[in-house]
Amino acid sequence: MSSAALQNLVNQPYKHGFVTDIEADVTPKGLNEETIRAISHKKDEPEWLLEFRLQAYRHWLTMAEPTWPNVKYPKIDFQDISYYSAPKPKKLASMDEVDPELIRTFEKLGVPLHEQKALAGVAVDVIFDSVSVATTYKARLAEVGVIFCSMSEAVRDHPELVRKYLGSVVPPADNFYAALNSAVFTDGSFCYIPKGVTCPMELSTYFRINTQDSGQFERTLIVAEEGSYVSYLEGCTAPKFDTNQLHAAVVELVTLDNAEIKYSTVQNWYAGDHNGVGGIYNFVTKRGLCRGVNSKISWTQVETGSAITWKYPSCVLLGDNSIGEFYSVALTNHHQQADTGTKMVHVGKNTRSTIISKGISAGVSNNSYRGLVKIGAKAQGARNFSQCDSMLIGDKCGANTFPYIQVNNSSATVEHEASTSKIGEDQLFYFAQRGVGAEEAISMIINGFCKDVFTQLPMEFAVEATKLLGLKLEGSVG
């Protein structure tokens, strides 16, 4: 492939608009130690963080891009990406320039106009609502000592906490994309719940307005001290666009004794057009460490977007009696590819994990569940239950399940159930005979299929997710 073609690929703009001027101050493309020093310098970072980045980078150079995921895409030229001060997403002048299909989606989801503009990349003057919401929000969190800010702010204001925990769950050398992220991450979220505190509200990046451009290498760190609890929401159901095609985020969660983190994601990044052109490559490393006894980490995800999703939110159950949970709905349509699942690593005694995965494939998409349940030698009495269900819509899509089970302790109990079903003409005919059209029927069947996962989502998220799946599948059956 020619370098011009690669450039097009990596920096593929959303197909409409983007005619206004590019903001100035663009650093050259490419990645080397100088680039990393420049990033660290511009962000005025302490020396230890620069070292962290450089070590990650040096390790990254020795690593190879993983080829084991069950996905296909052209090779990425990592020297053809701008890693800092990348051209800001070019703003559209007005909603008239936005893809009408996108606007229709916003309307169906009931997204307010000013949010529509922000999501579609249209210039917005001031978002009054969000500003005031964010201010009230911060005051309430400060009262109980919860820290919730951008990663850059955290490095500046709470360096000791960041230094203690950053990379403690996902080491910089963990995998190719985690190493890349550790070298070049630009921003993200930091959240700290002090001892004994139950966070008074659900935390959402949606309200954290100061890191709108956290970019393609996002870094999130959440620490729950002894006996604390937090529910964290990432993403939103409205489709989200970015001019950067490659996204490689890292999310780290840490729970100490008796603490709990509930992390919910609704991911609807741009998936490319109906012919599979464009779309985000979402290569994410998410991992939680149950460090303390009786602690719990629960991942719930609804993955509907991106051209390619490569993501395994995992739990390392170190503390005795700790609990890991993974509830997932992954939907692929058209040319989307997803290889997603989880890893549950049982280290402590009497640790428990639950995996409920629901994969839905439509169009010519490919959807794989990949999961690892590992019971360590010292994990006396550990238990796992896994259920992986796939649903096919139409006969041109694919579903795969790759469960890996490694048990090194004979007192452990591991259960795995799997099923594959298909929405076929007989089901749709049954609904039709009760007056119900195909789209409404599919929506109802899918929501039934996903019920065990949706009940884990915060209420308003669950309602939106239900609508979203229906929209994503529109027109997928003759």
Instruction: Give the interface with other proteins as residue ranges (CB under 8 A).
Output: 425-427, 429-437, 440, 444-445, 447-452
Instruction: Compare residues 143 and 426 and give the one whose CB is closer to other proteins.
Output: 426
HSE-CB for 352 with a 13 A CA cutoff? 8
- Residues 328, 356: contact at Cβ < 8 Å? yes
Q: For residue 324, is it left (φ>0), alpha (ψ between -120 and 50) or beta? A: beta
Instruction: Compare residues 290 and 445 and give the one whose CB is closer to other proteins.
Output: 445
Q: What is d(CA 69, CA 285) in angstroms, rounded to the nearest whole number?
A: 14
Supply the minimum distance, in Å, between the C-beta of residue 384 and other proteins.
Answer: 23
Supply the minimum distance, in Å, between the C-beta of residue 339 and other proteins.
Answer: 25
- Residues 169, 253: contact at Cβ < 8 Å? yes
DSSP state of 45: -
Instruction: Compare residues 316 and 423 and give the one whose CB is closer to other proteins.
Output: 423
Provide φ and ψ at 50, rounded to 5°: -60, -45
Supply the minimum distance, in Å, between the C-beta of residue 58 and other proteins.
Answer: 50
Structure tokens of 387?
A: 């259920």
Supply the minimum distance, in Å, between the C-beta of residue 435 and other proteins.
Answer: 4
Instruction: Compare residues 243 and 387 and give the one whose CB is closer to other proteins.
Output: 387
Strands 308-311, 337-346: pairing is parallel
- DSSP, residue by residue, 394-436: SSS-EEEEEEEEEE--TT-EEEEEEEEEEE-HHHHHHHHTTT-
Supply the minimum distance, in Å, between the C-beta of residue 227 and other proteins.
Answer: 35
Cα–Cα separations (whole angstroms), residue 85 to 4, 17, 42, 184, 322: 21, 21, 10, 12, 42
Q: What is d(CA 373, CA 387) in angstroms, rounded to the nearest whole number?
A: 12
Instruction: Compare residues 178 and 329 and give the one whose CB is closer to other proteins.
Output: 329
Instruction: Compare residues 80 and 452 and give the one whose CB is closer to other proteins.
Output: 452
Q: What is d(CA 346, CA 173) in angstroms, rounded to the nearest whole number?
A: 21
Instruction: Compare residues 404 and 430 and give the one whose CB is closer to other proteins.
Output: 430
Provide φ and ψ at 183, rounded to 5°: -75, -40
Instruction: Compare residues 11 and 447 and give the one whose CB is closer to other proteins.
Output: 447
- Residues 86, 244: contact at Cβ < 8 Å? yes
Instruction: Compare residues 27 and 447 and give the one whose CB is closer to other proteins.
Output: 447
Supply the minimum distance, in Å, between the C-beta of residue 452 and other proteins.
Answer: 7
Per the DSSP assignment, residues forming a β-bridge with 71 are none
Supply the minimum distance, in Å, between the C-beta of residue 425 and other proteins.
Answer: 5
Q: How far is CA 394 from the centre of its chain?
A: 27
Q: What is d(CA 153, CA 242) in angstroms, rounded to the nearest whole number?
A: 23
Supply the minimum distance, in Å, between the C-beta of residue 476 and other proteins.
Answer: 16
Q: What is d(CA 328, CA 309) in angstroms, rounded to the nearest whole number?
A: 13
Supply the minimum distance, in Å, between the C-beta of residue 444 and other proteins.
Answer: 6
Instruction: Compare residues 36 and 428 and give the one whose CB is closer to other proteins.
Output: 428
Supply the minimum distance, in Å, between the C-beta of residue 416 and other proteins.
Answer: 19
Q: Which residues touch 75 (CB under 8 Å, ≥6 apart)? A: 1, 65
